[in-house]
Chains A and B, each alone.
Chain A
Amino acid sequence: SSELTQDPAVSVALGQTVRITCQGDSLKNYYASWYQQKPGQAPVLIIYGETNRPSGIPDRFSGSRSGNTASLTVTGAQAEDEGDYYCNSRDTSGTQVVFGGGTKLTV
């Protein structure tokens, strides 16, 4: 089982705001990253170091953390934002990488 917990699915109306969460004890000590994956494609990094966006990622994607919960917020969701979203970080021992179970976003 994953040490990072995500809701399996969320939905949002076109143009509205949605928050996807990732909960785990290791997040108190280690940064989370977020990835978007569309069917048949490899994951794409969209947030790193909890709040940073790689170049080319739209600014409607933002990241934050409170306690042991990291969040990905999509402000003004677009149809092309549909897909699976995964968080990852280190495990509580700091020696391995863990992924959340993924959240399927429907717009």
Chain B
Amino acid sequence: EVQLVESGGIEVQPGGSLRLSCAASGFTFRTYTMHWVRQPPGKGLEWVSLITGHGRLTAYADSVRGRFAISRDNSKNSLYLRLDSLTPEDTGFYYCAKEHDTGWPTFDSWGPGTLVTVSS
């Protein structure tokens, strides 16, 4: 059974930084592109970033490019998201998502999410 569990969400001040982690199990992690998707409380879903299985290709939403950095450690079955220069608009639940075998942008497994709050 595929399991994804995010961690690292906290309350941080504007301009601050943090790193989110996603622990994966139940599938061959290194062979799948992984994504981060976020959701402000009470609002819709917004794709954030992706990283291919070998980690050589990444992509970002325009709203986070230059501030966020995605990475992975296939030896630890873990996905990461570094968030810098945070603003209140970055507040929300952050989900890691596994790409479906047919490719992106279909996400067939999601973690429960971790909450990031940016507030002074």
Consensus secondary structure, chain B interface: loop
| Chain A interface residue bracket vs B | 20 to 34
**Given known A-B contacts A42-B111, A45-B100, A99 and B106 have beta carbons under 8 A apart:** no
Cβ-defined contact, A86 with B47, below 8 A = no
Return the contact of A33 from the options B59, B105, B110 (Cβ within 8 A): B105
Interface status of A15 (Cβ within 8 A of chain B): no
A-B contact count (CB 8 A): 63
Known: A45-B106, A48-B102, A54-B108. A96 touches B59 (CB 8 A): yes
Question: How close is B18's CB to chain A, nearest CB, in angstroms?
Answer: 20
Kindly provide the distance from the CB of A98 to the nearest chain B CB, expressed in whole angstroms.
7
Judging by beta carbons under 8 Å apart, are A96 and B47 in contact?
A: yes
Chain B interface size range = 20 to 34
* B16, chain A: closest CB distance, angstroms: 25
Minimum CB–CB distance for B111 against chain A, Å: 7
Query: 4 nearest interchain CB pairs?
Result: A97-B47, A97-B105, A42-B110, A48-B106
B contacts, CB < 8 Å to A: 35, 37, 44-47, 50, 59, 61-62, 95, 100, 102, 104-108, 110-113
Interface, chain A (partner B; CB < 8 A): 2, 31, 33, 35, 37, 41-45, 48-49, 54, 86, 88-90, 95-102
